[in-house]
Amino acid sequence: MKDLDQEPKFGLNTATIYSNPVLQKQVLAKLYGGLHLTGLKPSDDPDPEVRGADQGATSYLRLLWKMEELTSDEAAVAWTDGSIQALNTSQWSSSNDFVQAMYDRIYFQIASTNEYIREMSDDKLSSRGITGGDLTNARYYRAEARFLRALSYYHALDMYGNVPFVTENDLPGKDLVPQQKSRAALFSYVETELKDIEGLMTPAHAAEYGRADQAAVWTLLAKLYLNAKVYTGIEHNADVITYCDKILKAGYTLAPEYRLLFLADNDVKAKNEIILPVVCDGTRSQSYGATTFLVHAASGGSLQPVAMGITNAWSGIRAKKNLPLSFGLSTAADAANPADKRAIFFTTRQNLEMNSLIVFRDGWAVTKFKNLQSDGKPSPTADPTGTFADTDFPLFRLGDVYLMYAEAKMRMGQTTDPTALNYVNMLRRRGYGFDMNQPNAVSDVSTLTEAFMLAERGREMYWEAQRRTDLIRFGVYTSSTYLWPWKGNVQAGTGLEPYRTLFPLPVSDLSANPSLKQNDGY
């Protein structure tokens, strides 16, 4: 009868894992890796974490990118996978498989971090004999897991608003029925949680590359406060300044060139600007999400994959015309040598106009992210098959903090605040290839306006998975005055119903958890 008690030979049970500091860190690696990895291997995982969809398409970052970019004025995808076109045309419903996959991925992350936080409590660590340096490390790990959970709840509140809520105090299982939290209540929870862990994290700019420290917590708080009016109806601009100031004092510096942030050696060449990366590696940290997606899907048409440091073009994502137009570019000749070098487009036989959403040649290709080093060569340790990218994704970076600072000042009415203007102009000078610290009449601006800030965020942060949030904060996401191709499923663009600022809760969870109430409008 003892034979009936079988356990996997290569699996590990909870008690074994959490009594061992080495294994604790490997679980933590999966929690961070959860931001782009999709399973126990990059494809064909027999037991994938997010089921019902193509494994590669369930990558957290790939989904976040689609939700933020395809629904905005910056990008469209040519594929016809599932209901992905509904993101291009703002026609998604509660049955949309991408709306569901993003939600499922967020909650996989929340459930996994909850489990970690639960099993890493001081009581349990002590009962498992974790002491001394191991205990110190374990407490950092736990605080970081709380940070990652807060990050996912931030994404949930930003995209879905009113969502089910579970913490380490809710034991997982079939009988657990999570209760819904309102967007405002979730805002308070994330705010409180981040402030709570602020003192428990590694000091700012001191963590190992790839791990979150105090600066990551501050950046997330700044983002939360910057959008507070959308989430709660109340502005928190002074708080934005408070937390940006903390980051600005932490010793981060801008990368010398804009392009360095998006290349295979950005972990070296742009390390000092990146506050929190999503780390990718062509051989050791592979997924079909993150930059592997951004590089492959952006290749196609006459753009040779080899020019992107890969072997296959997926012919998927390219720019809606608002993006090049915001740089003042409308012809291939313009794009060949733009004044603002942040405009990184490939235009050979690509049309600016997007007559068809599903033709890759309609819309300029964007080559901002590449799987090549700054010297134009592949990384020495690049994936020999040319599939998986080495480029890290800068989830939080100093450039974004500069812009948040400036925007908060602008919103507080200080439209000519010299510090704010200096931050904006430093980014612009870098973009133009000027000395960042020398004022330059060509690149510099002297007043911060709402229209300028929105456009400038586009120019600096395009394709970095922030645009939808920005457009909503600036009040133009659903408006009928600011349009982009295929907004509202009309080529010229049309206004959207106001409820589209939130995604619906997926119908899968509504059926599983009847205590949930759908967002208005859906």
Residues in 226-255 that interact with other proteins by CB under 8 A: none
Residues numbered 167 to 186 that lie near other proteins (CB under 8 A) are 170, 172-174, 176-178
- 133 near other proteins, rule: CB under 8 A: no
From the CB of 426, what's the least distance to other proteins, in Å?
28
DSSP character at residue 281: B
Which residue type occupies 68? E
- 11 near other proteins, rule: CB under 8 A: yes
DSSP character at residue 362: B
- 189 near other proteins, rule: CB under 8 A: no
Residues numbered 317 to 356 that lie near other proteins (CB under 8 A) are 356
Q: Is 18 helix (H, G, I), strand (E, B) or coil?
A: helix
From the CB of 261, what's the least distance to other proteins, in Å?
17
- What are the structure tokens assigned to 44, written together? 């064909």
Total residues in contact with other proteins, by rule CB under 8 A: 119
User: Counting Cβ atoms within 10 Å, is residue 152 exposed (0-12), middle (13-18) or buried (19+)?
Assistant: buried
Q: Is 191 helix (H, G, I), strand (E, B) or coil?
A: helix
Residues numbered 72 to 101 that lie near other proteins (CB under 8 A) are 79-86, 91-93, 95-97, 100
Contact 71, 87 (CB under 8 A): yes
Residue window 492-521: x/- pattern of binding to other proteins, with contact defined by CB under 8 A = --------------xxxxxxxxx---x---
CA distance 198 to 224: 15
Which residue type occupies 173? G
From the CB of 92, what's the least distance to other proteins, in Å?
8
- 361 near other proteins, rule: CB under 8 A: yes
From the CB of 210, what's the least distance to other proteins, in Å?
5
Q: How many CB atoms lie within 10 A of CB 216?
A: 24
Options 34-42, 372-380, 402-410, 455-463: segment touching other proteins (CB under 8 A): 34-42
Beta strands (DSSP E) in 321-458 are 345-346, 365-366, 393-397
- What are the structure tokens assigned to 173, written together? 């299982």
Provide the CA 261 distance to its chain's centre, in angstroms: 15
CA distance 332 to 349: 9
From the CB of 3, what's the least distance to other proteins, in Å?
4
Options 158-166, 368-376, 398-406, 439-447: segment touching other proteins (CB under 8 A): 158-166
DSSP character at residue 508: H
Residues numbered 435 to 474 that lie near other proteins (CB under 8 A) are none
Contact 391, 264 (CB under 8 A): yes
- 358 near other proteins, rule: CB under 8 A: yes
Provide the CA 344 distance to its chain's centre, in angstroms: 20
Please identify which residue in 21, 29, 334, 459 interacts with other proteins, judged by CB under 8 A.
29
Residue window 378-407: x/- pattern of binding to other proteins, with contact defined by CB under 8 A = -----xxxxx--------------------
